[in-house]
Structure 1
Amino acid sequence: MTVINDEIFRRGFPQRFVNLRSQVILVPVFAKIKSNLTVGLCIFLLLLSLLVGCFPCAAQDACYSRLDQDTLTIGNQFIERKFIWNKGNVITYSLSDKKGGKVWFNKLRNPDFYIQAGAGTQNGKYEVLVKKDDGIHIAAQETIVSFSTDALDVKRVYRINAQSASIACETYLKGHLSGISGGQQSNAADLKNIEIADDMKVNSSTAALDQLKLDGFHWQVKAVEFFDITDWNNNLVLENKFIPYRKKGYRGNLLFVHNQEKEAGFFFLKEAPASSVQLAYGGQDFTTEFGHFAVNGLGLSAKDIRADEWSKAYTVVLGVYSGKEFNQLQALRGYQKTIRKNEPGRDEMVMMNTWGDRSQDAKVNERFSLLELEAASKLGITHFQIDDGWQQGKSPNSALAKGSFTNIWSNPNYWKPDTVKYPNGLGPIVKRGKALGIEICLWFNPSIQHDYADWEKDASAMAELYRMYGIRTFKIDGLSIPNKQSEINLTKMFNQVLSETENQAVFNLDATAGRRGGYHLFNEYGNIFLENRYTDWQNYYPYWTLRNLWQLSKYVPPEKLQIEFLNKWRNADKYGSDPFAPSSYTFEYIFAITMAAQPLAWFEGTGLPKEALQLGESVAKYKKVQHDFHQGTILPIGEEPSGKSWTGFQSIHKDRGYFIVFRENTPDGTGILETWLPEKVKIQLKPLLGRGRAMIQTTGRKGALKVALPAINDFVMYSYTILK
């Protein structure tokens, strides 16, 4: 037998001979070849047979990976990244935007991944896996590159699919490491001036997950930092635009790097919690120095690395684009839409949750739930979620008893339906929900003690609710991820529930408090419950909610966010004469604010006045276009919401799409909104909801459209078509 391994590749055998298990065992075929064939012909036939039988990525997938002598190449129809093999500790050679015809050459001759100085590299290995579509993830190809440095094993998994101009890189570590290079950057005030040449050579020893060093000085860079913990934060996005100069660190999950000369660039996305809550955080996520751009912060400390188990660092995604800001954002969104497939019957929802009117668990029981379902049906609700109170165990937020999340599994019935509130179990609720076309969903708080050591029990409890009642959507609350083991165990819990529900489970991941996943971690598991807002405490203002969604929608797919609308009639007296009080808006307008996202009716349906139920007509119209609207690239348009702006959203398909336009409390009856359409394009607009009129219009500068609405605090939803 002949084994094609890493060493043979380095002698010239193409990558395509590798199968899914890293090495191909070749049955000797030379003995079967007639003696009069030349050696050259023998080799040709062998290579031809292997090329036919061992191609690692089907042609229709349009992705490829090959190791040819000392060059590793990974790509698809949009992007290609070439590496110098370097015994497995690869160094980027070039990065190509194939559609834009741009090629960037890396000037750095150090490995892309850096964790500790002075370590040699050995045992480089190469492997290719093809992952099939599983209902959550689209088909993808994984190139697995592994190597060792002294007592540490490193595995880098480069993941690419056929649909986006990006390559994600997952990093795994195993073995022993005395420490990880990094820490706080030096304060510029303590450095010497530019005349001292030696002192200008800043130490570059910070650990790096990925890095590029490119030619040129004319770079425009934007770092975007995000904030969750929305019980405390109401400003969720911070943009930092700068020209890179001397070495400096920046915070954020996103780094956009644009070259002014080529009108093209790339982005790094760090799939990690918000900077303020990341694990083992060294003070920055990115480092820039002229044309050198690095991603820092592994999310691991030396003590997190085990001798017998792989520890995963934060994932880094590298994407390319050519053009302006729109092309940049479209490239980012192209990747984000591949993280979790958006299935209309599973992921689209207009949810009503029992918690928003502050009754806590006091009302929750069978009769209340059945009455809520009747109201929900009139509103057009698709998902009814029973929050805290359905279960036998009592939480600390219970209005009925002083409960606890400590040692949940000392009560084996904690996550079974309360036998007093639901004497017949949840069966009657589920049955009535099905009759009304409403899916029943539940609230769930994983057992936090000992870094979620009871994750298997938590997963089994949710899987059992799926088997018994078909319940598959769970609001996951109360998370705290203070260390790597907690993150590992929670990941195992989510994956186990997906496995036991045939990938039908959906998790509404609460982002309101604590150390949680934020906007860029756990995205494959469902959507994000963004914020708690209540009229009881006057912290619900419709334009605040609109502003948070508007700002996030530029960088986070809004269809992955649950956005609340409240009962505007409750506590109206507490707002007094406030012009931005919820009562100043129509119920339809308050609902429309949420349409770019997954609408969340954050109230008790039985507490609404009769007039509120008329909203059902608008919800019915919205549901007809909801999925198509969400399938587009949704970006903010107009001005930032302020309560007095013309603002909105655009959903972009190829030659068509949608607009939602809001006239806030402004005396201007006509607004001019910059959009993401090209200039001087003729479009036809048809109103679907709200009070706008049909029209044909040619876009102005920066794709500007002129929209008229008859009253303040009014809106219109349009479908648009670009006319040829």
Structure 2
Amino acid sequence: MMEVPRLDASLGTARVRTRDDRLFVSTGQVARSWQWTGAGFATREVRELTANRRWQDTAGRCDWQLPQGGEPSAGRLLSLAVDAACDEGFTSEHLCLTAELLYPQDGLLLRWIVWVYPGAPGVRTQLAARLAGSRPARQAGTGPKAAPDARVDRVPGGTAAVRRFFGYYNATQQRNDTHLDLLKEAVNAYPLRGREWCDWASVACLEAAAGGIALVKESHKCVNQSGHATGGFVCDAASGLACTGWGLLPNELSDAEFTKGWATWCLVWNGAEFERQTAFKTFERFRFPVDPARDSSLQANTWGNGDCGEASRRAAAEASVLRELEICAELGIDTLQIDDGWQVPPGHASWQPGEGGWQPHPAGYPQGWSRVRRRAAELGVNLGLWAAAQHITLRELQASREAGGFRQYKLDYAHLKSRRDIDELMGKVRAFISWSGHRVRVNWDVTENAPRCGYFFGREYGSLYLENRKPAYPPGVVYRPHTVLRDLWQAARYLDLRQIQGTIQNVDLVDRARSDAHLHSQAYAVAIALMSLPLFFLETKLYSAAAKAQIKPLLNAYRQHREALSRGLVYPIGSQPNNHSWTGFQCRCAGERRGYLLVFRELHNACARHSVRLYGLPPGRIRLTDLLDGSRRDVMLREHGRIPLRIPQAPGFLFLGYDGAEQKQEAARARREA
């Protein structure tokens, strides 16, 4: 038996300890144990603690392979340590376990990192590597285009498990169609014989009726963009579920420092659909925490009305921005983000700045940012800014913040084709946010097919800018209410919707030959985005007085409840939006029987009454409050969690608060009477 160093550390419900050759970690919700085998650490058991469900294995020698694709040879465990950490404020507090290993025959130092969050439904692992001595003896797949599918994590499975794979598409500019989903999800329910592979997904699950286990690749991979060395998943009847793809190639290793690869989440849950969704979104909140006061801003962006790049860049000039600030203040929009155009002359044909670099162009901003910053402060509106992610320097970002006081930065045009690209951009953004005292955030643009940040990576730095939806041009991105609603509904299935920007457009201006937006109210178009981070992708000064009269009451109601919304988790309810469904969202406030409902009767739906299933509430009486008119009524939540609702006209919506506290009181009374 090869013993490991003695450890025993706790943080809340999280614990890391060792005994003999075993390593045990627990969050209080999930436990995972490894054995030191001399080649590395091999998972022996994963356990869901509420139901004591176990996934066990005694066969593997090591959870990982080396970056060049081979199984590790004999290794030496140089150190094993644990500390409380928060990644410099970029994630929730956790126990951070770090092991350093030397593989002499392979000329490699390896660092294995495990994050254990108190109360989380999973743990996070990550590998980093550094050359030691001479180059590794085994050089398989070292070419710049070779991406060896080396294993980075493995958990036990079973032959009877249902396999579920899912991921999200980028290039949302090409998916503005009823039949082009944002989410791809596939389920294989037949018995597993031998091996099964999946190379397009970001997540793989092994499920049974009573729960499941999943591996999540924390990378920039999308269904339609494999990204840099993201690998895939392998389900094996004998050895379980493995995640491959280090995120770095052998020729990207250095002898000067450790290079980190992609991380992996191991999640478990007890239950079915609701519990599975909850596990993913809950872990995201641990990994990418939300500050409701900082991260729930109502935002407008200057780009969205132009029918060409030149027109949209004119909207970013000072005169236009000053007018926008007035309307943002009138509507109660917190932040105005100045998109592409501020760095070039108004109406310029290109986004690329000249010799002056990334600073306000004097043709559009004769006094720099001073007039805009002063007027924004007078009106109580915050400012945001657009930039090309890899072109603007750290010092230029800092200078813009110092001169303009910007808080939200939309970073566009990223093309992360190598480990160096990835690390340089993430390092720059991390340094910028740290320099600001964590007062600025970024909006990662996922609208194009280039390898950008994807959906599971880089979100400790901010939110996702999901899609361009415009009034008329380009034709492929013309705003259609039901496809925007569909995209947010599918995003909410497994992602934290309160970290995704949902697009709002002025329906009066949308091309009637390409969209039915004009048949929807302005309030409906705004309501679609209220469970996400609402983004007015338009020039607010083009709203009519009648439009503003519709929007103001809705935004007033939203502002009263947005911090509670940001503390909750959002679930899709009803049917998938398709322009004739009853559909919507439920926001559940953690640990409470209270929450919010945003329910839509779509344009072509013929039924004024419908029952919608809610999550996490037992049958009984609940109180509904209309957040727009303040009216209240009690309704009975039926068996299987269904609630009767009525929307008299289509398209229409309800924005409701619900309170199930009476259920608890009724249950207590029933117990006393019994």
Structure 1-normalised TM-score? 0.82
- CA, structure 1 residues 402+661, in 2 after alignment: closer, same or farther (shift >3 Å)? closer
CA distance in structure 2 between the aligned counterparts of 1:596 and 1:63, rounded to whole angstroms? 31
Shift of 1:403: 5.3
Unmatched 5+ residue regions in structure 1? Answer: 1-5, 17-55, 184-204, 449-456
What is residue 561 of structure 1 aligned with on the other side? 500
> 377, 386, 390: which is aligned to 2:338?
386
What is residue 266 of structure 1 aligned with on the other side? 213
- CA, structure 1 residues 499+88, in 2 after alignment: closer, same or farther (shift >3 Å)? farther
Shift of 1:88: 6.6
Shift of 1:649: 0.3
CA distance in structure 2 between the aligned counterparts of 1:259 and 1:403, rounded to whole angstroms? 52
- Residues 290-332 of structure 1: CA deviation (Å, up to 9, x unaligned): 6711112222222222222222211100012112221121111
Equivalence map 1:316-715=2 (5 Å): 316-358=264-306, 359-391=311-343, 393=344, 399-402=347-350, 404=352, 411=355, 413-448=356-391, 458-513=393-448, 514-537=450-473, 538=475, 539-575=478-514, 581-614=516-549, 615-653=551-589, 654-665=592-603, 666-689=605-628, 694-715=632-653
CA distance in structure 2 between the aligned counterparts of 1:678 and 1:346, rounded to whole angstroms? 30
- Residues 368-420 of structure 1: CA deviation (Å, up to 9, x unaligned): 211111111121111101111112x47xxx73244537xx7xx3x31112222
- CA, structure 1 residues 280+167, in 2 after alignment: closer, same or farther (shift >3 Å)? same
> 126, 137, 146: which is aligned to 2:80?
126
What is residue 117 of structure 1 aligned with on the other side? 70
CA distance in structure 1 between the aligned counterparts of 2:281 and 2:460, rounded to whole angstroms? 14
- CA, structure 1 residues 648+282, in 2 after alignment: closer, same or farther (shift >3 Å)? closer
Structure 1 counterpart SS, 2:626: strand
- Is contact 1:383-1:438 (8 Å) kept? yes
Structure 2 counterpart SS, 1:318: strand
- Is contact 2:303-2:315 (8 Å) kept? no
Structure 2 counterpart SS, 1:647: strand
CA distance in structure 2 between the aligned counterparts of 1:118 and 1:628, rounded to whole angstroms? 49
Q: State the AA in 2 paired with 1:265.
A: G
CA distance in structure 2 between the aligned counterparts of 1:241 and 1:651, rounded to whole angstroms? 26
Equivalence map 1:79-228=2 (5 Å): 79-87=30-38, 89-115=40-66, 116-117=69-70, 119-124=72-77, 125-132=79-86, 135-149=89-103, 150=105, 151-175=107-131, 176-177=135-136, 178-179=138-139, 207-214=150-157, 216-228=158-170
What is residue 47 of structure 1 aligned with on the other side? none
Shift of 1:675: 2.2
Unmatched 5+ residue regions in structure 2? Answer: 665-674
CA distance in structure 1 between the aligned counterparts of 2:142 and 2:367, rounded to whole angstroms? 58
- Is contact 1:163-1:334 (8 Å) kept? no
Structure 2 counterpart SS, 1:595: coil
CA distance in structure 2 between the aligned counterparts of 1:479 and 1:640, rounded to whole angstroms? 31
Structure 1 counterpart SS, 2:38: helix
CA distance in structure 2 between the aligned counterparts of 1:658 and 1:221, rounded to whole angstroms? 32
- CA, structure 1 residues 584+71, in 2 after alignment: closer, same or farther (shift >3 Å)? same
Q: State the AA in 2 paired with 1:229.
A: A
- CA, structure 1 residues 380+118, in 2 after alignment: closer, same or farther (shift >3 Å)? closer
Shift of 1:697: 2.3
CA distance in structure 2 between the aligned counterparts of 1:525 and 1:315, rounded to whole angstroms? 16
Q: State the AA in 1 paired with 2:531.
A: A
- Is contact 1:126-1:145 (8 Å) kept? yes
Q: State the AA in 1 paired with 2:300.
A: M
- CA, structure 1 residues 492+659, in 2 after alignment: closer, same or farther (shift >3 Å)? same
What is residue 284 of structure 1 aligned with on the other side? 232
Shift of 1:423: 1.8
CA distance in structure 2 between the aligned counterparts of 1:87 and 1:487, rounded to whole angstroms? 32
CA distance in structure 2 between the aligned counterparts of 1:512 and 1:339, rounded to whole angstroms? 24
- Is contact 2:217-2:262 (8 Å) kept? yes
Aligned residues: 629
2:656 paired with 1:718: yes
Q: State the AA in 2 paired with 1:657.
A: G
Aligned-pair identity in percent equals: 21
- CA, structure 1 residues 137+403, in 2 after alignment: closer, same or farther (shift >3 Å)? closer
- Is contact 2:408-2:443 (8 Å) kept? yes
Q: State the AA in 2 paired with 1:267.
A: A
- Residues 518-546 of structure 1: CA deviation (Å, up to 9, x unaligned): 11110101001101111213521000000
Shift of 1:678: 4.2
Shift of 1:495: 1.0
CA distance in structure 1 between the aligned counterparts of 2:172 and 2:420, rounded to whole angstroms? 25
CA distance in structure 2 between the aligned counterparts of 1:556 and 1:467, rounded to whole angstroms? 33
- Is contact 1:88-1:147 (8 Å) kept? no
**CA RMSD across the alignment:** 2.4
- Is contact 2:219-2:230 (8 Å) kept? no
- CA, structure 1 residues 179+640, in 2 after alignment: closer, same or farther (shift >3 Å)? farther
What is residue 199 of structure 1 aligned with on the other side? none
- Is contact 1:275-1:285 (8 Å) kept? no
Q: State the AA in 2 paired with 1:689.
A: L
Q: State the AA in 1 paired with 2:621.
A: K
Q: State the AA in 2 paired with 1:548.
A: D
CA distance in structure 1 between the aligned counterparts of 2:379 and 2:17, rounded to whole angstroms? 54
- CA, structure 1 residues 422+518, in 2 after alignment: closer, same or farther (shift >3 Å)? same
What is residue 672 of structure 2 aligned with on the other side? none
CA distance in structure 1 between the aligned counterparts of 2:223 and 2:607, rounded to whole angstroms? 40
- Is contact 1:135-1:341 (8 Å) kept? no
Shift of 1:282: 7.5
- Is contact 1:155-1:172 (8 Å) kept? yes
Shift of 1:434: 2.1
- CA, structure 1 residues 127+133, in 2 after alignment: closer, same or farther (shift >3 Å)? closer
Structure 2-normalised TM-score? 0.88
Q: State the AA in 2 paired with 1:166.
A: G
